[in-house]
Amino acid sequence: MSAGIHAWAWLWLPLTLVVVVPVWRMVDESSYRLHFENELGFAENGTALLLVLGIYAGILVWRRRAQLPHRLLGLWFGLVGLGCVYFAGEELSWGQSLFHWDTPQLMEEVNDQGETNIHNISSWFDQKPRLLLELWVLIGGVLFHLWSQATGRSFPPDHWAHWFWPVRKLIPVSVLALIVMLPKRILELFGSLPPPPFDIRETELQEFLFAIFLSLYLWSVLKRLQEKGA
C-alpha cells in the first residue's frame, strides 16, 4: 500500500523551508526577524497550521482504530494526536498570541516570559519533550529505515510494525529536522555561535520541520487505512 502523500508535502516543502529561511535572513534581516521569528510570524503560525492538519488526521485515525491490527496502535496514534494538540497550543500560547488576552496572574508568576503556556515554566515541558521528539524522528524516521535497508526486513500489512514505523517518504524531512541544528551545536562545543548572516532561529525552523513530520506521519496512516477500507 502507498503512503498516499504527495511529493510537495514530504519533499519539496521541507527542502524549500531549509533553503528559503537562511536565504531570507541573508537578503533582508529586518523582514526575516519581523515575519519569520515574530510571535505572530510565519514560523509559529505555519507550525500551528500544519499541526492542526495533523490533529484532524489523528482524529480520523482514531475513529478508524478498529481497522488497525493491534489495539495499542489506536492508543499510540491517539497519543501522537494529543502531542500535536500540545505542540500547537504551546506555539500559540493557547490562543493568547491570536487574541491577546492578559496572562493570568498565577501563570505570569511562574512563566519566565509571562505568557499563557507551560513550556516556559520548566524544561520538563519544553526541552525534554523536544528531546523525545527528536529521538523519535531519528529512530523512526532515519535509523529504522537504515536497519530495514541493511537487513532487507519488511513487515506485512497485518503486522503492527507496518503501521507503527513512519513510512519511507518521511526520511527527507526527518534528516532535515536533525541536521538544521548541527551547525549551531558544533559551534557551541567550541564556545561560539553562528555569525551573521547565519544566525537564524534554528529551533523555529526545526519545530516547523517537526510539525511536517508529525502531520505527515498521521496522514500516511490515515491514507493507508482508507486504502485498506476501500
- 103-112: per-residue pLDDT in tens? 787 777 777 7
Q: What is the pLDDT of residue 193?
A: 86
Q: Report the chain's mean pLDDT, rounded to a whole number.
A: 91
- 43-83: per-residue pLDDT in tens? 889 999 999 999 999 999 999 999 999 999 999 999 999 99
The grid cell for 114 is 509571562
The grid cell for 81 is 494526536
Can you list the pairs that 157-163 forms with residues at least 24 positions away whose Cβ atoms lie under 8 Å?
Answer: 157/1, 157/69, 157/224, 157/228, 158/69, 159/69, 160/68, 160/69, 160/70, 160/72, 160/73, 162/69, 163/68, 163/69, 163/73, 163/221, 163/224
Q: What is the pLDDT of residue 230?
A: 52
Taking the model in full, what pTM does it have?
Answer: 0.93
The number of residues in the chain equals: 230
- Per-domain boundaries in the chain: 7-229
Q: How much of the chain exceeds pLDDT 90, in percent?
A: 71
Largest Cα span, the chain: 57
Do the beta carbons of residue 81 and residue 61 sit within 8 Å? yes
Do the beta carbons of residue 64 and residue 221 sit within 8 Å? no
| CA 155 to mean position of chain CA atoms | 25
pLDDT of 142 over the 60 cut: yes
Mean pLDDT, residues 150-156: 95
- 86-137: per-residue pLDDT in tens? 999 998 887 777 776 777 877 777 777 777 778 777 878 788 999 999 999 9
Distance between CA atoms of residues 92 and 116, nearest Å: 9
